[in-house]
Amino acid sequence: MPTSLLHREMTARHRPFEGPRGGPFREGGNIMAIGTLIRNHPAHVAAAALRDAERAMNRAQGVGFNSWNQRGSFGFAPRLQADESETEYVISAELPGVEGGDIAVTIEEGVLTLSGVRKAPTWSEDQTDEEKAAHSVSFKRRVRFNGEVDEPHVQARYANGLLTVTVPKPTPVAPEVKTIPVEVA
């Protein structure tokens, strides 16, 4: 029974992804690879490379959607590097544009917390608190250690935009050998 053109159009509206040869993206009964539908023009490849470079620069500068923090506002998330040796952990944080007095380092129950505020370069004492808050960005990063740490001996040093926190591991205590005198009867 031949179908009218109107019937085919109505059917296509109700099933928009089905073509005249069957199901979605079918070519002669076989599912076509979606990659064959996309052309790789040299200009598209170059544009994609430029977008990737722009995203990388935005991440490095702390702008764009990658810097969206949990509070729902744009923030700053410092890059961390953690190294471990037999005697200590060393945590390095890149904090460009942050003054040393605006950094707080705490450790509690094996969790190291790095927090602080990065102020805008144009921040002045003449600005109101609202203006200062609008031009400053706070950050907080936490690191949980798997093993035990010697919390009283943690050290932090900040120089040239790099915060280095040294967290020593506890020194193993050798068991004390006690000599028991033997009574001779």
Break the chain into its structural domains and give their ranges: 22-61, 80-168
153 has pLDDT over 90: yes
Angle at 134 between CA 63 and CA 70, to 5 degrees: 55
Q: Which of 72-81, 111-120, 173-182 has the lowest mean pLDDT?
A: 72-81
Angle at 171 between CA 170 and CA 177, to 5 degrees: 130
172 has pLDDT over 50: yes
Determine the pLDDT at residue 60: 61
CA 97 from chain centre, in angstroms, equals 19
DSSP E strand boundaries for the chain? 18-19, 22-24, 26-27, 30-31, 80-84, 88-94, 103-108, 111-119, 136-144, 155-159, 162-168
Determine the pLDDT at residue 58: 64
Determine the pLDDT at residue 42: 66
Q: How far, CA to CA in Å, does 112 sit from each of 39, 74, 76, 88, 172?
A: 49, 23, 18, 14, 22
Model confidence pTM above 0.75: no
pLDDT in tens, 98-121: 888 999 999 999 899 999 988 776
DSSP state of 49: H
CATH number of 80-168: 2.60.40.790
Determine the pLDDT at residue 9: 45
